Amino acid sequence: TARNLFLLPGDGIGPEAMGEVRKIIAYMNEAMNAGFVTDEGLVGGCAYDAHGAAISEADMQKALAADAVLFGAVGGPKWDSVPYEVRPEAGLLRLRKDLQLFANLRPAICYPALAAASSLKPELVEGLDILIIRELTGGVYFGEPKEIIDLGNGQKRGIDTQVYDTYEIERIAGVAFEMARTRQNRVCSMEKRNVMKSGVLWNQVVTETHKAKYSDVQLEHMLADAGGMQLVRQPKQFDVIVTDNLFGDMLSDVAAMLTGSLGMLPSASLGAPDGKTGKRKALYEPVHGSAPDIAGKGIANPIAMIASFAMCLRYSFNLVKEADDLEKAIANVLDKGVRTGDIMADGARQVGTVEMGDAILAEFKTL
Amino acid sequence: TARNLFLLPGDGIGPEAMGEVRKIIAYMNEAMNAGFVTDEGLVGGCAYDAHGAAISEADMQKALAADAVLFGAVGGPKWDSVPYEVRPEAGLLRLRKDLQLFANLRPAICYPALAAASSLKPELVEGLDILIIRELTGGVYFGEPKEIIDLGNGQKRGIDTQVYDTYEIERIAGVAFEMARTRQNRVCSMEKRNVMKSGVLWNQVVTETHKAKYSDVQLEHMLADAGGMQLVRQPKQFDVIVTDNLFGDMLSDVAAMLTGSLGMLPSASLGAPDGKTGKRKALYEPVHGSAPDIAGKGIANPIAMIASFAMCLRYSFNLVKEADDLEKAIANVLDKGVRTGDIMADGARQVGTVEMGDAILAEFKTL
Ligand SMILES: CC(C)[C@H](C(=O)O)[C@@H](O)C(=O)O
Ligand SMILES: CC(C)[C@H](C(=O)O)[C@@H](O)C(=O)O
């Protein structure tokens, strides 16, 4: 049976990075009979340019119908002043919301070959392997009211609303506990219960979910500001971190930067398993952005996009061996000293986007 | 004329740290005729134990009447399950709100003697000197509705509301630009305008305020998540950072941790200058918390509290020379290798809270 992938390369370096994934898909179809069928659409600034929206209805339908969506990156200075409703990010937010991708998995791992690139002391990040589980369809990103009101007298009021319901917290906590069981069995939940009512509820529901179904997992609670501090101070203390949409945005970016491997980090955004088929909607995207300053130059690092495809193999198609091999191929190529400019180091060999993709594919073929 | 100080030592290590400031006050009265008159109250868990509220009405009145409030720290496991309305933090939040202390100044400086204590590579933090200006009386901390609703069926809904009005953004931006002029003349404003309407307004108002009154200052905008990353990657790129209450909470904690000097960092929370007298309400507090695990052992680091008093000398009483000297005394004592346990290093001499206070006072006397 066909495996349907919908590709949304987006803006900036997105298309270049996606090109390297395409090669891997083609190889897997040819040599492994993987049966991937791909279609492609527009998202972000390029979609706005083409039809005035950050993603078209037709492409939304294709995203909804696909087994998995591969997403590049969106945005750039060209679209800095387009109306709020059609800004590039709106395409990504709509995909997350309409596909109900409530669980965002962001591994923050430190590739051994890159520990020196971290701004932290190497001993603090060597071997680092954190999984941040960020709630992705709730909180202040989507709560209403969300508006700017004109109060007269030259005064305006900007309003956003943070909203979390019990079931939303329960299901994301469940994902965190399940993931922890496949790892070091430890979860740290972060919120600001000392100032936010949604934080109070978050804390309660995580605690109850733990007690009811996952008491074998070790659970800790931390205030989100203290969590940010601890990530910088002693990141290896964490296994799985579960937190809300906005704190997850901040904390996962800090965690990503710690690893020195920002250009290498993938993410998966998952929906709930379908009651009948067990299938879950999913979108895979690199953590880095569209990097407009280096777009089109052939120098972008495609590793995060390729590693996102590895997550896709694992979570959408249960191709565990293939996912492991692809991740191993990335690590091996780094070990051999092949580097794009962003992760260049003394004595390494600097390559462009295409060469990096080729090197990873070549390595993948040997595994 | 008398200088009225209201002391709120609070919980945990707060009282111990405050004790060392008291010695400096006594010395300044005696030797410098400084004319400080002090009164003292309860805040946080100890206030709850004494009269069931995180701060009493009588103490609120005293805080309102004082020229400046010196605040220690609040909270501890003992009060983890007291009702939300009277939790220790409520005392601090009420002080901020009722005294209208909208401008929170959080310097993140790296004491040269402590650069090695940072988890970042020393070359990234040596000489670091960032001033974070955090809006302190608005945003999600105080916006309404702020509640947990029972939806029935075992479902609850936690709601918090982020609200910012034009005038609130204008006045905090003004503080940031004014401060920048006394430093490197650069401001970086952080928000999430790509997902929050309050962020859109924030961005607009900061831009307009800059254009109207502070175009001599260099202004940059950064998304708050990218800002967190950049703080970790290259903290010295920043001079003044201005941001909202919640982002300020997160980002200032990350910045504090970068310095390796967390136990040393002070903060000032200021109101608007009075139209007639020019006086502004003010509260000074260390960035660290109540550290209940080491409370009462005589080992807490009093430097952040003493440095907060130095900010008080500077901002509430315009005692600039005295503030400079007190800060210099701290740096000198550190240079001499005197250390509390939290900042202990090879070859240094480990001391307790009182000895550290004595050493700083002795040094202060020589300047
Ligand atoms: C592009 C933006 C809307 C997005 C977010 O804020 O969620 C990004 O920062 C991310 O973390 O995926
Ligand atoms: C104690 C708490 C309410 C407070 C806050 O969140 O503002 C603290 O974290 C701070 O940064 O001063």
Question: Least CA distance to B145: which residue of chain A?
Answer: A161
Residue A214 annotated to the active site: no
- Phi then psi for B340, rounded to 5 degrees? -80, 170
Residue A192 annotated to the active site: yes
Bridge partners for B134 per DSSP: B104, B243
Mutate to test the interface with B, among A121, A147, A166 (most CBs of B within 10 A): A166
Residues of chain A with pLDDT under 50: none
Buried b vs exposed e over A99-133: b needs ≥16 C-beta within 10 Å? bebbbbbbbbbbbebbbebbbbeeebbeebebbbb
Inter-axis angle of helices A245-258 and B245-258, to 10 degrees?
20
Taking an 8 Å cut-off on Cβ atoms, the answer to whether B157 and A164 are in contact is yes
Query: Which residue puts its alpha carbon closest to atom 2 of ligand 1?
Result: A89
Ligand 2 neighbours (beta carbon < 6 A): A 194-195, 225; B 89, 92-93, 249
The alpha carbon dihedral of A92, A93, A95, A100 has a sign of: positive
Q: Choose which residue among A92, A102, A132, A142 to substitute to test ligand 1 binding: the one with the highest number of ligand atoms within 8 A of its C-beta.
A: A92
Is residue B191 over pLDDT 90? yes
> Which domains does chain B show, CATH number per domain?
1-102+274-367 (3.40.718.10), 108-270 (3.40.718.10)
Cα A167 to its chain centre, rounded Å, is 23
Contacts of residue A164, Cβ cutoff 8 Å, sequence gap at least 6: A135, A138, A139, A198, A201, A202, A244, B157, B158
Taking an 8 Å cut-off on Cβ atoms, the answer to whether B157 and A232 are in contact is no
Of A159, A232, A253, the CB nearest to B119: A232
Query: Quick one: pLDDT at residue B249?
Result: 97
Is residue B196 over pLDDT 90? yes
| pLDDT tens per residue across span B246-289 | 999 999 999 999 998 778 999 999 999 999 998 999 999 999 99
CA A146 / ligand 1 centre spacing (Å) = 17
Query: B339 CA to chain A: closest CA distance, Å?
Result: 19
Of A11, A59, A164, A192, catalytic = A192
Cβ proximity of B187 and B215 under 8 Å:
no
| pLDDT tens per residue across span B99-120 | 999 999 999 999 888 888 899 9
Nearest by Cα to A140 from B102, B224, B101:
B224
Q: Which ligand is nearest to the CA of B265?
A: 2
CA B72 / ligand 2 centre spacing (Å) = 12
CA dist B239 and B186 (Å) reads 6
Mean pLDDT of B72-93: 95
Residue B358 annotated to the active site: no
- What average pLDDT does chain B have? 96
Mutate to test the interface with A, among B74, B149, B195, B262 (most CBs of A within 10 A): B195
Q: Give the pTM.
A: 0.97
Taking an 8 Å cut-off on Cβ atoms, the answer to whether A163 and B140 are in contact is no
Chain A residues in contact with B229 by the CB 8 A cut-off are 253-254, 256-257, 262
Task: State the pLDDT confidence band at B64, using cuts at 50, 70 and 90.
Answer: very high
Buried b vs exposed e over A294-321: b needs ≥16 C-beta within 10 Å? bbeeebbbbbbbbbbbbbbbbbbbebee
Query: Quick one: pLDDT at residue B112?
Result: 86
Query: B16 CA to chain A: closest CA distance, Å?
Result: 22
Q: Which ligand is nearest to the CA of B11?
A: 2
Cis amide bond preceding B83, omega within 30? no
Name the H helices within chain B.
14-32, 45-51, 57-65, 88-98, 122-125, 166-181, 197-213, 224-233, 245-258, 303-315, 320-335, 353-366
Of B11, B48, B67, B141, catalytic = B141
| pLDDT tens per residue across span B197-221 | 999 999 999 999 999 999 999 999 9
Taking an 8 Å cut-off on Cβ atoms, the answer to whether A226 and B253 are in contact is yes
Taking an 8 Å cut-off on Cβ atoms, the answer to whether A195 and B163 are in contact is no
Query: B325 CA to chain A: closest CA distance, Å?
Result: 30
CA dist B41 and A350 (Å) reads 64
Task: Give the position of tokens 């000489």.
Answer: B127
The alpha carbon dihedral of B275, B276, B277, B281 has a sign of: negative
In this structure, are strands A266-270 and A103-109 parallel, antiparallel, or unpaired? antiparallel
A293 is in an annotated binding site: yes
At A335, which amino acid appears? Answer: D
Question: Hey, what are B59's tokens?
Answer: 């103490």
Ligand 2 atom closest to the CA of A226, numbered from 1: 9
Chain B residues in contact with A165 by the CB 8 A cut-off are 151, 155-158
Mutate to test the interface with A, among B125, B250, B267, B293 (most CBs of A within 10 A): B250
DSSP 8-state symbol, A234: -
The alpha carbon dihedral of B101, B107, B113, B117 has a sign of: positive
Cβ proximity of B307 and B337 under 8 Å:
no
Question: Least CA distance to B74: which residue of chain A?
Answer: A194
**Percent of chain B, pLDDT > 70?**
100
Query: Quick one: pLDDT at residue A260?
Result: 83
Residue A244 annotated to the active site: no
Cis amide bond preceding A112, omega within 30? no
Bridge partners for A150 per DSSP: A156
Bridge partners for B197 per DSSP: none
CA B123 / ligand 2 centre spacing (Å) = 30
A-B CB pairs within 8 A amount to: 180
Question: Least CA distance to A163: which residue of chain B?
Answer: B159
Query: B33 CA to chain A: closest CA distance, Å?
Result: 41
CA A255 / ligand 1 centre spacing (Å) = 15
Count CB neighbours of A83 within 10 A: 9
Query: B314 CA to chain A: closest CA distance, Å?
Result: 28
